[in-house]
A and B are shown apart, each in its own frame.
Chain A
């Protein structure tokens, strides 16, 4: 429990393959690569994607590498007029994330059903402790907004690269723990399910694929960091309410039913009147 809470390195899971030791160069290039992915995802969610971002993303090289990662955009993304795409995605962003009836990409909302609850303050405190302050983009956002949380990890990864460049292994290890802790306490608790929800609900292939990318990448990151985190957002088993059955007969008397019937003959087993409740999950 404590290990999970504080993201301490665990003993390798018996089924997990042993991790080969990585050289500083390998670690550095992995951090750089991860930073890029975090920044890409952050840009997709922190606000409506801008013209430059979309133009860069639609470059053949970028599309090819996204395709390699399994992302298959439809023509509505790859073949549409760029200005029209910016406008279309702006509307889609609003419908999904900023208008009533959508699903704001905000940890407080996803985990508590309300804005500005515990995750909001916890994340804000983490940013401050790590020396960050959340600025304003085109719009003001919450600290526990998905784009901000992803951006935070990207910033920590950039610091990790700097630590590696400066051969500060202790600092690198501290930052690694910080990232793991952040995943354990925040991102890991909600983004996998959230990504799947987005994949299911998005009208436009950009957000559908970004949702898929988010959940897939989160799965990989969690596995790579050897964390065990319950997905509180969507991975919970939700028992449809009308299918819940209570396994006892409500007409049976319960009171005085647990002791032996004083009138019964010795040695006769009393009829069981109490039936245990089973967790149907």
Chain B
């Protein structure tokens, strides 16, 4: 029997007719990457690995992660699919986190210095000896003045433990790192609308203005927000316009990269605002209802900021400013994002304010696809709690910077050197100011080496670093995979609580910070008679977490800490859809964020016992709880008047312009033709100071040549790879050039995170392997596979301090330099900073403080201000 010839077409017809039947056929094969999320298996015996959810802490984005553990050893890290913000993704840094645990240069025992500071000679001592020594020093300091005990921290995610420790001792001398980070962004925003950061709804936006953020690589919040930027771009055809001096990966991903002259983003933003108001493209209803100015006031104020004025300053063409203003105002929804670009300048707070005005005046605030308030969650502290210290600390709240609510840490060495405050015991935690701060070793290195200024320096650190190397005593803290810590970070539009929990036993004798601080207090107050021990009545880190989490409403019912131990995060909003990468409900639809938080109406119960004043402010028990608008009672914004303060009256009290403004940096105006501005940036695989020893990351990026434009390079006669000498007013360095069109011609830019001289064998490419010296250490198994011999050059020695007189932030991108071809005596890696010259820079920047002689000159518009005397005795402000 012969079958009729069956063509392919015939077969395909079968398919069409049997669609329903095919749909019911079993599907047993799934893509591995989709199926295995949240699980991992040993490739040899196929046994399922123990999965422990945590919050990553290689950098500070706080991605949800899972540590896969075999035999008490972390073998793999990946994203936690239950985490609403990061949705199962983890960046390269997060994937490499286990290197911290097993780093051969890790400090596993208390070490006491035996040589001169920084000489590198140590003696291992027991915890008992170490604690006794610390307690003895603290005891003596307490007798003199509790404020002589100082705590300076870098990345503090202890959830309040460090403050508890210092309050237990009665010291107010707590200094953070925020002024070298983002403080002027915070201070630019907080008095205006309450929180210190924005959450742009990139996924649903149609238009984004990005001022100086490199969110696809490094900025807050890299992983969660870059996912949303990609979604907005792909799913929503969102347009991105990036203003940056450098063609970052984010600028490269944008529709337009507009290279702007450094420190002039604020002027461009004001000019965009000018065009919006001039052409009546603003959201008048929003401005009149929700801000403390009227449209007319705003129009009158912005009239001065013409595109012609901004173009002259920034180099951005008038027509570009006008076009972008129209696009931004007429494309809805639109959002804006900034990070350090605008804020890290002498008047960074003004720049930040100028930028955030654009979504405000166009009414894009708290809308789907717009510029949203951050969402976070809090947790209670264990009881009882110590009270606040009796005396204020100069270093913690410097009187010359009353609006700098996040402190001015980078000026602290100069104030200590000036004798503004005496220090007896100095604790440092997860910090490395000798490397990360302006002046670097020339400033902080000099401070720490001076035993008269810092008589006893204790570093709580798992690793040697440029700062820890100068300590008198090192207390071995645990890396993040061995600690308990509470977490919440506004890194998406869905608020969450999370934890870090130890995924394996601590190595050696390292102790997590809250435990070692407890042990210090217990040593100091063994029987509780000094009234300190009662604040440290917990068994271990887990016990401490129970105090935080077991009584949070909602979480308590879900299981409290036990829920977090199992899931790592709470709440679980939905299930991660492996096809879309989005968190979805039972029907497969993406969980929607809540918008319009300020428009939430107060309930009848909320309104009971309230008093509404003439401005509509709703007060209850002496506290503003909302605002009445158009007859409705809203919760409003978390500011004192529950409105957006376009005009910040407190700034005016100190002679600062309360309205959006821009100040040109005087020394930029005076630049010569052969001068440039030095900027720095981060690469996607490194953070500030603690990734250079992570092998996988160091292999990807280990050197940091200076970016310069071909136009500049041609003038200097320099090509890629040539040595150049970069000289500022405070020092010089010699590095390699990288010639690229992706940088403004007046800018030379160096990535940070490289050029370590301490911090382990991979970061320094040095290892003790012969008598009396250290060398490349080629015999070491860890270095045997290191094929590179260039560790980069660290630029901070040549960057002088600059302090924003409002926000207190360091002006990282304000340094004027001369770049020349390296001379015959210049060697790659040479770097030198001069203390006296740094002191001169410190004195110069103090002239811009509200108490300084240049303050009035910089603010002619504030001629009616009564001077510093007019606010004498007023308590420092800030958020």
Contact = CB atoms under 8 A, between A and B. Distances in A.
B435 interface: no
Interface string A105-116: 000111111111
Nearest to A202: B771
B123 A90 contact: yes
Contact of B106 (A115, A139, A140, A201): A115
Contacts of B126: 138-139
Contacts of A110: 781
Please indicate which of the listed interface residues B463, B464, B768 has the most CB atoms of chain A within 10 Å of its own CB: B768
B108 A98 contact: yes
Interface stretch (A156-164, A233-241, A246-254): A233-241
Contacts of A98: 108-109, 111, 122, 124
Contacts of A200: 769-771
B121 A238 contact: no
A140 B110 CA distance: 12
A116 B108 contact: no
Contacts of B771: 200-203, 208
Nearest to A93: B124
A197 interface: yes
B554 interface: no
B303 interface: no
B73 A101 contact: no
Nearest to B114: A91
A104 interface: yes
A94 B758 CA distance: 17
A103 B781 CA distance: 10
A117 B73 contact: yes
A240 B109 contact: no
Given A91-B114, A233-B781, A101 B464 contact: yes
A90 B125 CA distance: 9
B105 interface: yes
Contacts of B123: 87, 90-91, 94
Contacts of B508: 139-140, 142
A101 B122 contact: no
A96 B712 CA distance: 48
B104 A109 contact: yes
A157 to B, nearest CB: 29
Interface in A62-106: 87, 90-91, 93-96, 98-104
Interface residues of B, number: 49
Contacts of B787: 241
Please indicate which of the listed interface residues B508, B509, B778 has the most CB atoms of chain A within 10 Å of its own CB: B508
A53 interface: no
A6 interface: no
A102 B768 contact: yes
A112 B101 contact: no
A233 B784 CA distance: 11
A95 B768 contact: yes
Contacts of A108: 102
Given A116-B101, A240-B778, A95 B784 contact: no
Contact of B111 (A99, A109, A142): A99
Contact of A113 (B120, B759, B780): B780
A149 interface: no
B24 interface: no
Contacts of B73: 116-117, 120-121
Contacts of A116: 72-73, 101-102, 507
A104 B104 contact: yes
A114 B767 contact: no
Nearest to A238: B778
A104 to B, nearest CB: 6
Please indicate which of the listed interface residues A93, A99, A201 has the most CB atoms of chain B within 10 Å of its own CB: A99
Contact of A100 (B72, B121, B464): B464
A101 B760 contact: yes
Contacts of B767: 101, 103
B761 A101 contact: yes
Contact of A90 (B124, B758, B761): B124
B122 to A, nearest CB: 5
Q: Interface size for chain A: under 10, 10 to 19, 20 to 34, or 35 or more residues?
A: 35 or more
A272 B313 CA distance: 64
Interface string B104-147: 11111101001000001111101000000000000000000000
Given A109-B104, A202-B771, A238 B779 contact: yes
Contacts of B764: 101
Contacts of B120: 95, 99, 101
B74 to A, nearest CB: 9
A233 B121 CA distance: 26
A209 interface: no
A48 interface: yes
Nearest to A242: B789
B780 A103 contact: yes
Interface in B414-457: none
B774 interface: yes
B781 A112 contact: yes
A115 B507 contact: yes
B104 A113 contact: yes
A197 B779 contact: yes
B124 A100 contact: no
B122 A91 contact: yes
Contacts of B507: 115-116
Contacts of B783: 113
A2 B567 CA distance: 45
A203 B695 CA distance: 29
B782 interface: yes
A100 B781 contact: no
Contacts of B509: 139-140
Contacts of A120: 73
A57 B759 CA distance: 37
A51 B121 CA distance: 21
B384 interface: no
Contacts of A138: 126
B547 interface: no
A200 B780 CA distance: 13
Interface string B71-102: 11100000000000000000000000001011
A23 B747 CA distance: 83
B178 to A, nearest CB: 28
B326 interface: no
A85 B708 CA distance: 56
Contacts of A100: 105-107, 463-464, 758-760
A184 B19 CA distance: 64
B768 A114 contact: no
Interface string A214-257: 00000000000000000001101010110000000000000000
Contacts of A201: 768-771
B761 A114 contact: no
Contacts of B695: 113
Contact of B122 (A99, A233, A236): A99
Please indicate which of the listed interface residues A101, A103, A108, A240 has the most CB atoms of chain B within 10 Å of its own CB: A101
A101 B778 contact: no
> What are the 7 tightest A-B residue pairs by CB atom distance, in nearest-first order?
A113-B782, A100-B464, A114-B102, A100-B105, A94-B124, A109-B104, A113-B781
22 contacts: A95-B121, A96-B768, A100-B463, A101-B761, A101-B766, A101-B768, A103-B780, A108-B102, A111-B781, A113-B695, A113-B783, A113-B784, A115-B101, A116-B102, A117-B73, A117-B102, A140-B509, A197-B779, A200-B771, A234-B779, A238-B778, A238-B784
Given A101-B767, A117-B102, A236-B784, 7 more contacts: A91-B114, A98-B108, A98-B124, A102-B768, A103-B767, A115-B106, A200-B771
Interface of B: 71-73, 99, 101-109, 111, 114, 120-124, 126, 463-464, 507-509, 695, 758-761, 764, 766-772, 774, 778-784, 787, 789
Interface of A: 48, 87, 90-91, 93-96, 98-104, 108-117, 120-121, 138-140, 142, 193, 197, 200-203, 208, 233-234, 236, 238, 240-241
